[in-house]
Amino acid sequence: MDTRTSPAAPPKTIRREDYRQPDWIVPDVALDFDLGAERTVVRARLEVRRQAPAPLVLDGDGLVPVAVRVDGQATEAWRLDGGALVLDLPGDAHVVETEVALSPQTNTQLMGLYASGGLLCTQCEAEGFRRITFFPDRPDVLSRYRVRLVADKARYPVLLSNGDLVGSGDLDDGRHFAEWHDPFPKPSYLFAAVAGDLAERRDSFTTASGRTVQLGIWTRAEDRPRTAHAMESLKLSMAWDERVYGREYDLGIFNIVAVNDFNFGAMENKGLNIFNTRYILADPDEATDSDYDGIAAVVAHEYFHNWSGNRVTCRDWFQLSLKEGFTVFRDQGFSADLGSPAVRRIEDVRALRATQFPEDAGPLAHPVRPESYMEISNFYTATIYNKGAELIRMIHTLVGPGRFRQGSDLYFERHDGEAATCEDFVVAMEVGAQVDLTAFRRWYGQAGTPRVEARIARVEDGTVSLALRQSTPPTPGQPDKSPVPIPLRTALFDRASGARLAEQLVLLEDAEATVALGRAPGDVALSINRGFSAPIVLVADRATDELAFLAAHDDDPFARYEAVQGLMLEALVDRVASGDAGGAADAAVDAVGAMLADPALDDAFVAEAALLPSESFIGDQMLVVEPLAIHDAREWLRARIGRAHLAAWRERQERGANQPFAYTPEAKGRRRLRGVALAYLLAARDTDAAARALDQFQRADNMTDRFSALSALVGSDAAERETALDAFRVRHGGSPLVLDKWFGVQAGSSRSDTLETVVRLSRDPDFTLANPNRARALIGGFGANQLALHDDGGAGYRFLADQILQLDRLNPQTAARLVPPLGRWRRFGEARAAAMRAQLERMLRTPGLSRDLYEQVFRSID
Ligand code: PHE
Ligand code: ZN
C-alpha cells in the first residue's frame, strides 16, 4: 500500500474513543518463510474465529496476495481495501491461508522483514507485521505461533524465532530449516525471526523455581568477544526481576540478536529480543562508561518487558505507556540498584528535562495516554516513556515499596495473558496497594508540565508554613487544565546549625494549599521536591544564600544537586538578561569548589553536580531563546568555575590516570570527573590545557578517557583538535559504533564552522542516511546543537530540512524523529521563528511525504 501522503489526502486520524473489540480473533497461526534477501515467500495459515458479524479484515501494507485459500480451497472471493485483505466468510470458524512475496533487500524502512549486514531480521512493533503477512495487526489479537524458516544453509546457518526450537534439519539444494513454537499467545508486534551467519555467546540462568534457561547472544563472529557485558547484564536483570517483582522467566530459551540497522534501541519480541548493536557491543577500548550503563539499562528494559509488555500486553496503542512507562520505571530501579541511586536519579531527571519537558511545552505535547494519532510510530516519545515512568514512580512514592509490590503482583495476576489498559493498571494499584487514585488518573490524560510555586512563611507561634500553588500551561487541544495530585518530598533546615528539622511528603491536590511544616525557631531553608518526587517545574522563591546553604548542607543528594544547578541557572539567566550575574555566579563558583574539597562526596556525584545546565535547558527558562547569548554566558561561567579551581581541576584530571582500566564504580566516577575537569581546564584557557587533553587522549587505555578528551578538544581552535580527530578516525574507522561517535562529536561542536563541517561530513564516504545510528549521530547531533542549528541566517534549518526530506524517502520513522528541533520555532525571536517555520512549510508542501513525517511537520507548524 502507498502510505505516502499528499496535501490533498492527509492521513486519517485514529482516536482512542473509537476503540472496538476485534471482529475476529486468531487463536493459532502457522507461518512458513522461504527466506532470501532478494525474495522471501511467506505462507500464513490463520485459524480465525468470529466475534462479531463483520467481514474478516486482515491488515496488509505493501502486500500483494499470490494465493488465498479458505478452508483448504483456493478462492478469488477477496478484495483489497487500503492495503488490507477483506474476506466475507460464511461461518464462525475458518482456516485462512495466504501467500505473499517480499523483498527484504529493498526494505529501507527497517519495518517488517529487512536485510541488515548480511542478516535477515524482522521488526514488527508497532505495525510492521502487516508488511510481512496479512493479519489483524493489533495488539489485542493474541495468537499461538508456529514458525517454519527455510533458507540457504551456507548464507543463513542460524535460523531463530520466538519460543522453543521444535525441529530442524537439512533440505535439498543446500537449504535447511528450523521450526519454532511459542506456547504463549502473543500479539503480532512481538513476532520475530532472524536468519544469518551468527556467532553465539551462550550462558544459562537458573530461575528461582529451579528451571534452567539457555541464554544466547548472537552477533557477527568478530563481535562475539564484545558481548560479555550484555550477558552479565541479562543475568543480573533476570535475578533482579525475581527479587524485586517476583517475576520469573517462562521459556527454556532466551535469545538476543544484535543488528547494525535498527530504528530504536531494541525490541522485546517474545524469547527473541532484537537489539541495535549499540546496546549490546562493548569493550573498554570502544565503549564509554555511559555506553556500558546504556547496555545494562536496555538489556534490562527489554528483558523486563517479558512481564510488563508480553505476558501482560496493551489493548491498543493508546495504552503504550502501560508497558513503556512501567518498564522504564523498572529499568531505572534496576540501574539504581546496580550503581549509585542518587547519580542515577540525577541522570534520569536530566534526560527528562532535556527531552520530555521541551516536548510537553511545544507543539508535539500529548498526554501519557494520548487521545489520537495519525502514525503510531511518532508516539514512542519521551512523554510515553519517561513521563510515563514518572507517573509510576509517583504512585510508588505515595504508597511505598511494600504496597507498590502488592499492587504490581495483583496487576500481573489479574491480567496475565491479556491485553490491558492504563486504567487496568491504576485499578490494580488501587486495590492491591490500597490507595485511592481517582484524582491521580488526571496525570494520564493531561499534557503539559505542571508549574508549582512554593513559598514559606512564618506564622506567629514559630510555625513555618508552606504556600503552594500549581498550574499547567495550555497545550495543543487542551486549553484548560485541572490540578493534579503532586507528591512533594519536603524538608526544612535550620540555617544556623545546618540541622534538618522536618521531612514530610506533602501532597498538593488542589490549585492552592498551605501546609504547616513544623515549628522552627530560627532562619530556615526550604528543600522541596527532594529526589524529584514529582515531574514538575518548581518555582520556589528562594534567595541566593538559601540555595547556597542547600548546595552545601542538603542531605538529599538530588536536592543538593538541584541547589547547585539552581545557582548556576540563576547566574546564567541573569547574565543573559543583563550581562551581569549578581551573586549567584560567585555562589555557584563557591559551591563547586566546596564539593571538590569535600572528601565525603563520591566523584560521580561531584561530576554530575559540577556540570553546567545544558544550553537548551537554559533556553527553556527564557521567554525568547537567544542561543548565542546563552552560549556565551555558559562559556563565561564555565571559564570562571574553571579558573577559580584550577589546581583542583588539574588534580582531578590527573588522579588515577596511570592506573589500568577497571570497571568499578570508583574508577567510573574518577573517569567521569576527569572528563568534567578537562572541560573546565580548557574553558579556563589553562596554558597547557590542549596539550593535557591530547595527552589524555593518547595515553588512554579506554574509550571513556579518550572520548572525553576528544569532546573537550572538538570545540577548541587548538592544533591538538585535528590531531585527535584524525587519530581517532584512523584508530576506530573500522568500527561503525565508534565512527558514529566521531561524526556525532563534530556535529555537537561549539565552533563557528560547525555547519560547514557537518555539511562536509554529510558527503563523507562513510556517511549514510540508510543507517539510523549514523544518521542520528550526524543529523540528530546537529539538530541538538543549539548554537550551530540557530546560527547563520537559517542555513542550518535548511540543511536539516533537506536531510529530513532525503531520509524520509528511505526511512520515515527515523526522519520524523528529527523534526522536533524545528518545531520549537515559537520559542525564538521573529527572524529565527520565521526561518524555521519556512522550512516546516517547505517540508509540508513536498509531495509524497510519509505519514510519519507529515504528522510531525503538520503538528509542528500549528
Ligand atoms: N518496544 C521497544 C522498547 O521500548 C521500542 C521499539 C518500538 C522498538 C518500536 C522498535 C520499534 O523496548
Ligand atoms: Zn520498552
3-state secondary structure 230-256: HHHHHHHHHHHHHHHHCCCCCCCEEEE
Cα gap 314→551, rounded to integer Å: 43
Residue 341 has pLDDT above 70, yes or no: yes
Greatest CA separation found in the chain? 93
Residue 489 has pLDDT above 90, yes or no: yes
Residue 208 grid coordinates: 528461582
Closest CA to 387 of 408, 366, 363, 411: 366
Contact predicate 162/190, CB 8 Å: yes
Q: What is the pTM of this model?
A: 0.98
Residue 660 grid coordinates: 589500568
Cα gap 662→678, rounded to integer Å: 20
pLDDT of 541 reads: 86
> Please, which pLDDT band fits residue 435 given cuts at 50, 70 and 90?
very high
Distance 322 CA to ligand 2 centre (A): 10
Closest CA to 412 of 428, 388, 397: 428
Within 10 angstroms of residue 65's Cβ, the number of other Cβ atoms is 16
Residue 502 has pLDDT above 90, yes or no: no
* 421-445 mean pLDDT: 99
Cα gap 294→272, rounded to integer Å: 20
Cα gap 41→35, rounded to integer Å: 7
Closest CA to 300 of 341, 265, 260, 352: 265
Q: What is the pLDDT of residues 13-27, one digit of tens each?
A: 999 999 999 999 999
Residue 1 has pLDDT above 90, yes or no: no
Cα gap 686→446, rounded to integer Å: 49
Our answer on whether the CB atom of 258 is closer than 6 Å to any ligand 1 atom is no
Q: Which of 302, 347, 375, 570 is catalytic?
A: 302
Cα gap 731→515, rounded to integer Å: 61
* 383-389 mean pLDDT: 99
Residue 780 has pLDDT above 50, yes or no: yes
| Residue nearest ligand 1's atom 5 by CA | 267
ipTM: 0.98
Residue 590 grid coordinates: 563557591
* 658-684 mean pLDDT: 97
pLDDT of 137 reads: 99
Superfamily of domain 733-862: Peptidase M1, alanyl aminopeptidase, C-terminal domain (1.25.50.10)
| Residue nearest ligand 1's atom 11 by CA | 125
97 is an active site residue? no
Name the average pLDDT for the chain: 97
Our answer on whether the CB atom of 301 is closer than 6 Å to any ligand 1 atom is yes
Angle formed by the axes of helices 228-245 and 289-304, nearest 10° = 50
Cα gap 211→204, rounded to integer Å: 10
Cα gap 271→288, rounded to integer Å: 28
More confident residue, 370 or 8: 370
Residue 523 grid coordinates: 532562619
Cα gap 772→775, rounded to integer Å: 5
Within 10 angstroms of residue 157's Cβ, the number of other Cβ atoms is 13
Residue 8 has pLDDT above 70, yes or no: no
Q: What is the pLDDT of residues 289-306, one digit of tens each?
A: 999 999 999 999 999 999
> Please, which pLDDT band fits residue 3 given cuts at 50, 70 and 90?
low
- The 3-state DSSP class for residue 850 equals coil
| Residue nearest ligand 1's atom 8 by CA | 267
Q: Which atom of ligand 1 is nearest to the CA of 298?
A: 12
> Please, which pLDDT band fits residue 7 given cuts at 50, 70 and 90?
low
Cα gap 483→440, rounded to integer Å: 10
Closest CA to 625 of 353, 828, 776: 828
Residue 462 has pLDDT above 90, yes or no: no
Question: CA dist 575 to 149, 333, 585, 610, 629, Å?
Answer: 64, 38, 9, 19, 9
Residue 835 grid coordinates: 526561518
Residue 426 has pLDDT above 90, yes or no: yes
Kind of pairing, strands 451-458 and 537-540? parallel
- Residue type for position 807: L
Distance 243 CA to ligand 1 centre (A): 25
pLDDT of 437 reads: 99
- The 3-state DSSP class for residue 581 equals coil
Q: Give, for 213, the enclosing helix (H) or strand (E).
A: strand 212-219
**Phi, psi (deg, nearest 5) at residue 186:** -145, 155
Q: Which fold has domain 312-445?
A: Neutral Protease; domain 2 (1.10.390)
pLDDT > 90: what percent of the chain?
96
Q: Which ligand is nearest to the CA of 772?
A: 1
Residue 508 grid coordinates: 498538593
Our answer on whether the CB atom of 380 is closer than 6 Å to any ligand 1 atom is yes
CATH number of 451-534: 2.60.40.1840
pLDDT of 43 reads: 99
Residue 843 grid coordinates: 517540508
Contact predicate 297/398, CB 8 Å: no
Contact predicate 788/796, CB 8 Å: yes
Percent helix, percent strand, percent coil in the chain, to nearest 5: 45, 25, 30
843 CB contacts (<8 Å, ≥6 apart)? Answer: 801, 804, 805, 849, 853, 857
Within 10 angstroms of residue 250's Cβ, the number of other Cβ atoms is 17
* 417-427 mean pLDDT: 99
pLDDT of 4 reads: 75
Least confident of 156-165, 454-463, 482-491, 558-567: 454-463
Residue 212 has pLDDT above 50, yes or no: yes
Our answer on whether the CB atom of 331 is closer than 6 Å to any ligand 1 atom is no
Q: Which atom of ligand 1 is nearest to the CA of 128?
A: 11
Q: Which ligand is nearest to the CA of 299?
A: 1
**Phi, psi (deg, nearest 5) at residue 688:** -100, 15
Our answer on whether the CB atom of 264 is closer than 6 Å to any ligand 1 atom is yes
In the chain, the N- to C-terminal Cα span, in Å, equals 29
Beta bridge partners of 201: 217
Closest CA to 787 of 633, 680, 630: 630
Contact predicate 86/56, CB 8 Å: yes
Residues in the chain: 862
Residue 289 grid coordinates: 562508561
Structural domain boundaries in the chain = 14-197, 312-445, 451-534, 733-862
Going by the DSSP 8-state scheme, the letter that residue 514 receives in this structure is E
Going by the DSSP 8-state scheme, the letter that residue 482 receives in this structure is -
Distance 189 CA to ligand 1 centre (A): 10
Contact predicate 50/58, CB 8 Å: no
Our answer on whether the CB atom of 324 is closer than 6 Å to any ligand 1 atom is yes
Distance 266 CA to ligand 2 centre (A): 8
Cα gap 274→265, rounded to integer Å: 9
Q: Which ligand is nearest to the CA of 327?
A: 2
Our answer on whether the CB atom of 323 is closer than 6 Å to any ligand 1 atom is no
CA 637 to chain centre: 30
Distance 302 CA to ligand 2 centre (A): 6
Going by the DSSP 8-state scheme, the letter that residue 606 receives in this structure is H
Distance 124 CA to ligand 1 centre (A): 9
Going by the DSSP 8-state scheme, the letter that residue 347 receives in this structure is H
183 CB contacts (<8 Å, ≥6 apart)? Answer: 144, 163, 164, 251
Residue 116 has pLDDT above 60, yes or no: yes
CATH number of 14-197: 2.60.40.1730
Q: Any idea which residue has 588522579 for its cell?
A: 655
Compute the chain's Rg from CA coordinates.
Answer: 28
Q: Which ligand is nearest to the CA of 267?
A: 1
Beta strands in 90-163 (DSSP E): 93-102, 112-116, 119-123, 143-152, 158-161
Our answer on whether the CB atom of 268 is closer than 6 Å to any ligand 1 atom is yes
> Fold match between 14-197 and 451-534?
yes
Name the region of 592 (left: φ>0; alpha: ψ -120 to 50; beta: rest). Answer: alpha
Residue 843 has pLDDT above 50, yes or no: yes
